[in-house]
Amino acid sequence: MGKSISSFIKFLSGDIWDSRQKEFDMKKRHRLFIVLFSICLVTLTASFASASEAITVSAAISLKNAFEEIGKIYEPKHHTKVIFNFGASGNLLKQIAGGAPVDVFASAAQKDMDEAEKQGFIISETRRNFAGNSVVLIVPADAKTSLKSFEGLSLAEIKRIAAGNPKTVPAGRYADEVFHYYNILDLIKEKLIFTENVRQALDYVVRGEVDAGVVYATDAAIEEKTVRVVVTAPESSHKPVIYPVAIVKGTKNKPAAMAFIALLRSAQGKEILQKYGFQPTQ
C-alpha cells in the first residue's frame, strides 16, 4: 500500500509540471500528505476498535455504578469489551425500537421490559429478574426542613420537588404511585420538577435546586454526604421495584451477552449489587 501511495504522489507532482508551478505544487503535496495521513489514522483506529469483541449493554441509569464495577470484572474474564449506555428505561427502549445495536437490556421496571417483550425486541427465554430496590424521599443534607413524611410534601415550605418524568422514567412512575397512595398528587402537582432520568432528580437535590426529591435508595446511598433520606416509601405504596434483564433480539454476540447476565446473577455479581444497596433476587 505504501508503494502505491508514493507512486501516486510522484505522479501528482511529476515532471509534467513546469518549474514555476513547483512551489505551489509542494504546498499541494503537503496537503495531500495530511489528507492521506488522516485517512490512514481513521482506518487504523477503526480497525483496532473492531479487533476485540464487544457487547453493548443498555441499562437503567440507577444501575450505573454497580454495572460499571461488574463490567470491570467481566471484561478481562471474557476478553470482551462492555460498552454501557445508561439512561431512562423508556428512552433506552425507544433506542432499541429504533434499531440501536444493543445486546443486553436491563430496565428499572417490568413495564418497559414487558413492552420490549410484547413488541418482540428481546429474546423472551433470556429474561431474568436480578435485583430489587426501594423508593426514598430525600432532601439536601444541609436543609433546615421539618419534612418528615411524603404527606409533608404538601407543606408550604416545600416549593420544588424533583422526580423522574413518569412518561419515560420508571423512578418517576414509582414516585407517581407513592403520591397517589398518599393522595397528595393534586396538592403537590405545581411543585413537581420532572427530570429526564432518576440521577438528574438526585443531582437537583444535591445542588439544592429543589427542596426534596424522590429517588431510589441506591441513588441516595451514592450521595450520602450531600443528601439525607427522610423516609423510605412503604412497599405497599408502589409496585415492587424489580430490575429485569434480557438479551436483545438481533445480538451479534449471544454467548457474550449470556455470560454478562450470568455474571449479574452469580455470587460475585450479587455481592457487587448488594454493595451498592440493591437487593439481589434469588
Partner 1 sequence: MTFMDEEIFFSIRLSLQVASVATALIILTGIPTAYLLARKNFRGREILDVVLTLPLVLPPTVTGYYLIIVFGRKGIIGSTIYEWTGWNIMFTWQAAVLASFVVAFPLMLKTARAAIESVDENFINVSYTLGHSEWKTALLVILPLAKRGIVAGVVLTFARAMGEFGATLMIAGNLPGRTDTMPIAIYTLAGSGEWSKAHVMVILLTMISGFFLYIVNRYSKRIL
Q: Classify each residue of 22-52 as buried b or exposed e, where b means 16 or more C-beta atoms within 10 Å of its C-beta.
A: eeebeeeeeeeeeeeeeeeeeeeeeeeeeee
Count of residues engaged in binding partner 1, rule: CB under 8 A: 16
Site stretch for partner 1 (CB under 8 A), options 18-26, 31-39, 43-51, 193-201: 193-201
65 vs 95 by CB, closer to partner 1? 95
By CB under 8 A, tell whether 248 contacts partner 1.
no
Q: How far is the CB of 210 from partner 1 (least distance, A)?
A: 8
Site stretch for partner 1 (CB under 8 A), options 179-187, 202-210, 228-236, 247-255: 202-210
All three cell numbers of 162: 424533583
166 vs 277 by CB, closer to partner 1? 166
By CB under 8 A, tell whether 89 contacts partner 1.
no
**Is residue 183 classed as helix, strand or coil in its secondary structure?**
coil
Residue with cell 470482551: 80
Residues 48, 99: Cα–Cα separation, whole Å: 24
By CB under 8 A, tell whether 195 contacts partner 1.
yes
Q: Classify each residue of 109-128 as buried b or exposed e, where b means 16 or more C-beta atoms within 10 Å of its C-beta.
A: bbbbbebbbeeebbbeebbb
* Closest C-alpha among 99, 102, 43, 72 to residue 245: 102
All three cell numbers of 40: 490512514
Q: How far is the CB of 70 from partner 1 (least distance, A)?
A: 27
Site stretch for partner 1 (CB under 8 A), options 17-25, 48-56, 88-96, 265-273: 88-96
Q: What residues make contact with partner 1 under the rule CB under 8 A?
A: 88, 90-91, 94, 160, 165, 167-168, 192-196, 207-209
